[in-house]
Amino acid sequence: MPVTRAFSRSLSRSKSPPYSPINETLTQEKTSTDELLTSLNQAQALGNNLAQLKSIGGVKEVLRRLHSTVDRGISLATVETRRELFGENSLPSSPRKSFMELFVDTFDDATLKILIAAALVSLAIGIYDDPATGYVEGCAILAAVLIVSVVTAGNDYQKESQFRELSAESERLDVVVVRDGMHWQIPVDQIVVGDIVCLETGDQIPCDGILVHLDGGGSLQVDESALTGEPIDVDKTLEDDPFLLSGCTVEHGSARLVAIAVGKSSQWGIIKSHLEKEQEQTPLQEKLDDMAAMIGYVGMAAAGATFIAMMAIKIFVQPEYLKEHTILSYALEAFIIGVTIVVVAVPEGLPLAVTISLAFSTKKMLADQNLIRHLAACETMGNATNICSDKTGTLTENRMTVVKGMFADTRCDDTINRVPVLISDKSLQIILEGIACCTTAKVIKSEDGDRPVIIGNKTEAALLLLAQSAWSRKDNTDKRRAAANFGQPGGSRIFPFSSQRKRMSVLVTKQNTIDLTGSRANKPTWTLYHKGAAELCLTDCSRYLGIDGTEHTMTNEKRAEFERMIQSFASKALRCVALCHRDNVQDVCDPSNISEKECAQKLERDMCLDAITGIMDPLRPDVIEAVATCQKAGIFVRMVTGDNLDTAEAIAKEAGIFTKGGLSMLGEDFRKLTPAQLDEILPRLQVLARSSPEDKHKLVQRLNGALIPATAEEWLEAHPGRDFEKEKNLILPGFKDEWASSRNGVGEVVGVTGDGTNDGPALKAADVGLSMGLSGTDVAKKASDIIIMDDNFASIVKAVLWGRSVFDNIRRFLQFQLTVNVVALTITFLSAVVGYQPPLNAVMMLWVNLIMDTMGALALGTEPPRAELLDRRPYRRDASLISRPMWRNILCQATYQLIVLVVLLNRGPRFFGCEDGSRQHFTIIFNAFVFCQVFNEFNAREIGDRFDPIRSITQSPIFLMVIFFTVASQWLLVEYGGDFTQTYPLSLDEWKYTVVLGAGSLPVGYLMRMIPVTEAPESFAGIERNGGKKTKKSLLTWLLLALIPILAFLVSQLYHEIAEVAHDTDDNAFQEQFVQDL
């Protein structure tokens, strides 16, 4: 029948469609029709859908309700009405964000907001207090914020561009539909409910539908792996399984379907709708926000305490050096110092360190086959506590493969590695001939030399791949098949595979056949090659092929042996396919004219059993080790698949996922659970089979709490027609308040892997979604945070390693920066309390900030990962960024640096022979303080008890370059800074002493690690390994108490220094000069 092409949309989308009484009927029956179509299109519920279809009277009733027929389709006059009532076959896609939009989005970060506020206040006060240089600190903070925002937005924009190039594919497809008895070729988005859609081999199914016609009878083979995870082609028939899903591919056959769901109502549309919801904050973002808030509170408290202390001294103590200050002028000075403390306390380098560490790791991870689409996902993966993995294409190769078998009575338990097969050439030729000819599949080599392209049945292709592999010395199956002359006059004949018979046969004749005497035969001989379900084929075999190529009688003992082999293979979830043959069938009948039915009755008996093969989608080679590594790292690995339970359990056992005491479950049982019941089995649930996309989505929601309905409106939107008050805590995934109360508001950090459209919602709901770059669908890639470029589960382990490295790098930087912050904040506070200006001026503090911010971020944020990071459990979502050992290190180093500053301030002039309060005096203090930071950077490379400041130092070239740059710049500032930096050139001895004082941070770093302080056990999540060391009681509290006398000593030293200065100067001249210098 000719096809008419709809060149213009106006043909099917006229503004005022012709009048048709059907339109009124469709409108009146819309509600009941919607309910009917929804009941026939439940995800992963074939039994229920089929029962519902039969209960209403079958496909004929569906066509009647939709006012459509198989031959004539729908009326053109009803197209627009159908589109208005049931929707159009398209989904709105979110436009790409511009660089400016991404740039603006970066300012949603709480830390950046605090920094901007601090910068503006510092800018205003600084300009008021010192118009010449007062703007420096505020501008420096704003510059740091700008750098962070530009780098973050630029990285996100670049990754989005890379992703769009990776997944660029035309979504503009045409399909053939029947309308008014004519075939129309229309764009896929013009399909409406009720359309009769024509499908051919290779077509992508454009909407959800029900089979109404099969060309030539038999079945339609459909690849549903993208939507359901089922790796084996599914046979669709009019009686047993007539349901077709959008996004799947027709592998073999031609048919017609009636569209019952389009656009957002289809299974693909339902999946896509879950992808539009916004994700919640990542654990890292939550920790950074908490850290910024905590530091802000501490800074505000210190500023308030400073202001109160200074005003109390002025009003109640009334020292001599404050008598010339009025209360108002001194209050302003106290306020300025308070603002300075806030600015010093705010970690303006923290966002920069996070950004640098993530951006650096992102580029490195690309070399490890991890394309990071969202920067924060890099760190989040490091503390993942659960990985919910798809089976097909992630744990397995998504390629049906012969993994073991019996060939010519010879057992081979590893057809992949134990090659070539050890049987006679005569036996091998018989088996290869059967494989090459008894098939409808094709294997085409890809242009890039990578994985071959499979056309047709994947199980048949597995046998072809075996024949073309080193197992048979790479046989040319295409040449063998061509020699059989299929489809040619007098050539070989084929009876394709039938899902009802579970077998197929070919009758092969080769012209110019040589007989046993060596002369040409007068007529060609015919051989039957047969293939099918092993248990069925075995019953029709009376002989079996021996290793030498001879045929042997099938005894009862031998038959029992083969039956046990088939049962053994089946218990391992292998598909058992037998290969048989029968020679000289022309002596029984005329093969050139025999029918399929006659072939089955007369020829498919008394056959010779050639081989029994075990076929499966095998595990990727390094999956077992990768899963074991994840479990060792405290990560709970689960398999969530659309495949059947037996296969899922077998694969999970082989991978090490399904272990003793573990639980496996079917999706239909999972859906019946209440939230409380699911929480009870979650610690043991390792395998979820026959799961729908919604099941996987709800499992992830229940684990991490992401996107769980938090209001009655959200709950009713997710569960239309249900009773909120009675069922809010009884239907998965639950209600936010119920979920939070069941686990103290702290969820798991969940990583989800997948490659199919069906994985999209779960990938989006996960804390980190990982899609497959080679086999993944566009929907999966767009929903993911990380794309595994080589489709290898082992690459996920590298993602975990890099993620933990990023987390530790951020903590290294925090340990380093907070040490400087504590020292600067304490010295500013103490100096203000005792009436002394801070010893470091604005330019000096700016340089110190540069060292601890930009330079520190570069040095410590780019440390490479270390293998031992996988030996620890992941941190809980609510675990603090600063651990107990880190607080120990920070406090000990800060105490040492404070002692150095105060001693140099008090005793420095006498020791170095310089004037008290002079430029030379303060330059000595400045130089010692800077070198304390330089050497403390080496200390900060370790955040635990290990003391090895130069470990793997050669693998950190950026760290070495930063140290060199810092030392060289410090020398230039001191020697040539002059009036700009208020510094004084130092002598060689002064350089030596200040560097040695700075180097004192290293022995302090060694001694402080002798203090037994351990991380809080409750900071860790994930699987706890047996045999771990018992944690020692933390001594952090005692350490804090021990430092109090030291702080008291520092205050007394400062007060003593002020008393001496006040005594030696007239009318506070020295203080005025000091203020002028600053």
- Could you give the residue numbers annotated as active site? 390
Pairing of strands 786-788, 768-772: parallel
Q: Residue holding tokens 């009948």? A: 589
The closest of 457, 533, 499, 49 to 236, measured between CA atoms, is 499
- For residues 821 and 350, the answer to whether their CB atoms sit within 8 Å is no
The Cα 197–Cα 174 span in angstroms is 11
85's enclosing H/E stretch is helix 79-86
906 CB-near residues (< 8 Å, 6+ apart): 1053, 1054, 1056, 1057
The Cα 1038–Cα 357 span in angstroms is 34
Question: Two tokens at 885?
Answer: 């050992």
Please state the φ and ψ torsions of residue 503, each to the nearest 5 degrees: -165, 165
Whether residue 733 has a cis bond before it, omega within 30° of 0: yes
Write out the DSSP string of 508-529: EE-SS-B-TTSSBPSS--EEEE
Please state the φ and ψ torsions of residue 427, each to the nearest 5 degrees: -65, -45
* Buried/exposed 567-596: b ≥16 CB within 10 Å, e otherwise: eebbebbbbbbbbbbbeebbebeebeebee
DSSP 238: T
C-alpha radius of gyration, the chain, whole number: 38
Whether residue 591 has a cis bond before it, omega within 30° of 0: no
The closest of 81, 80, 83, 63 to 72, measured between CA atoms, is 63
- For residues 286 and 749, the answer to whether their CB atoms sit within 8 Å is no
- For residues 760 and 272, the answer to whether their CB atoms sit within 8 Å is yes
The closest of 309, 343, 341, 315 to 328, measured between CA atoms, is 315
What's CA 993's distance to the chain center, in Å?
52
Secondary structure (3-state) at 230? coil
Neighbours of 81 (CB within 10 A): 20
Neighbours of 1051 (CB within 10 A): 15
258's enclosing H/E stretch is strand 255-261
The Cα 994–Cα 934 span in angstroms is 12
The Cα 334–Cα 308 span in angstroms is 9
Secondary structure (3-state) at 649? helix
1066 CB-near residues (< 8 Å, 6+ apart): none
The Cα 554–Cα 301 span in angstroms is 91
- For residues 614 and 201, the answer to whether their CB atoms sit within 8 Å is no
The closest of 369, 425, 372 to 156, measured between CA atoms, is 372
The Cα 164–Cα 171 span in angstroms is 13
Secondary structure (3-state) at 439? coil
The Cα 411–Cα 19 span in angstroms is 72
Residue 551 pairs with which residues in a beta bridge? 545
